[in-house]
Amino acid sequence: MPASWLQISVRTGAANIDALSNFLIERGSPGVVLKKNGVDAFFVHSRADASLRTDIRNFLGGIAQVSSFGGKPRLEWKIITEENWQHSWKRFIKPRRVGNLFWVTPPWLKPPNFRRRQVITLEPGMAFGTGTHATTRGCMEFLELAAERQRGGTFTALDVGTGSGILAIVLARLGARAIWAIDNDDVALTVARENLRANGVAKRVHLSRIKPSGIKRTFSVVVANLTAETILRVAAALEKKVAPKGYLILSGILHKKAGEITRRFAVKFKTVKCKRAREWQTLLLQRK
């Protein structure tokens, strides 16, 4: 383990968080903590700290020029010694009650004894989706609703952009008969594979790097927690994957973009329900 770490905290608008998180991970952070109005990231403390800070300042300057966020992003950093490392980053990862059925927890915390809730254990890693982000929670809640609407019958599901694999785990716990989980990021697939294994559902999920257009079947439920721009780009492929009367759950959408997404799918889908959490919107659509 490194002797010390550089903790970088950035406060910015919600619209910048995903781009900033991706940049910090690409720059070498082994993981980031998403907060309501910013991101915390950790880097191995080294002689390259000054260069890293310069790169991050330059990146923040670039997004500030095109962002609708009302203020200038704030950057802070501090050095964390080895003896404080475990406590420093683990304190950000909290267990969370999600929807009516699930409790999401990191593996180092013992979950309470539940009568009804199912425990999902996730190892935080370099992949999106720990149950703390509003878009992940929205998807989980709508997956519960879509499963209920199957009237107890078996259903199939596709998770597009699986990230940590949390939504594929939810689908397995909800009783999906066949589950595909796809992502174009090799790191995400590695993290998802480990989380699927840790939750005892690895054999029930087909994990792949394939694109939606490469899958030659349809599904009762399709969920895509991406971004509005990516959803629009792959909209035609997503539409084709949803079976007649099937459900399409879309998230990662900033509220101001939700109308554009709804209009794009309006010809073939009706809107069943919308959920807004702060700046984010999740949509539950059903094929007409």
DSSP result, 28-62: T-S-EEEETTEEEEEEE-STTHHHHHHHHHHHHHH
Cβ atoms within 10 Å, residue 63: 17
Element at 263 (helix H, strand E): helix 258-265
pLDDT at 91: 67
Q: Please compute the mean of the pLDDT values over residues 130-149 and round it to a whole number.
A: 89
pLDDT(242) > 70:
yes
> Of residues 35 and 212, which shows the higher confidence score?
212
Q: Which domains, from first to last, does the chain contain?
A: 4-90 (3.30.70), 96-287 (3.40.50.150)
Determine phi and psi for 27, rounding to 5 degrees.
Answer: -80, -5
Average pLDDT, the chain: 87
Strands 156-160 and 96-98 turn out to be unpaired
Determine contact, residues 109/95, Cβ cutoff 8 Å. yes
pLDDT(1) > 70:
no
Q: How far apart are CA 141 and CA 250, in angstroms?
A: 12
Give the pLDDT band of residue 127 (cuts 50, 70, 90): very low
pLDDT(64) > 80:
no
Among 21, 55, 16, 10, smallest CA distance to 188 is for 21
Separation of CA 287 from chain center: 24
Q: How far apart are CA 10 and CA 40, in angstroms?
A: 6
Q: Which of 37-46, 66-75, 123-132 has the lowest mean pLDDT?
A: 123-132
Q: Please compute the mean of the pLDDT values over residues 226-252 and round it to a whole number.
A: 95
> Of residues 286 and 1, which shows the higher confidence score?
286
Q: How far apart are CA 182 and CA 124, in angstroms?
A: 19
Q: What is the reported pTM? A: 0.76
Cβ atoms within 10 Å, residue 244: 8
Q: How far apart are CA 74 and CA 195, in angstroms?
A: 34
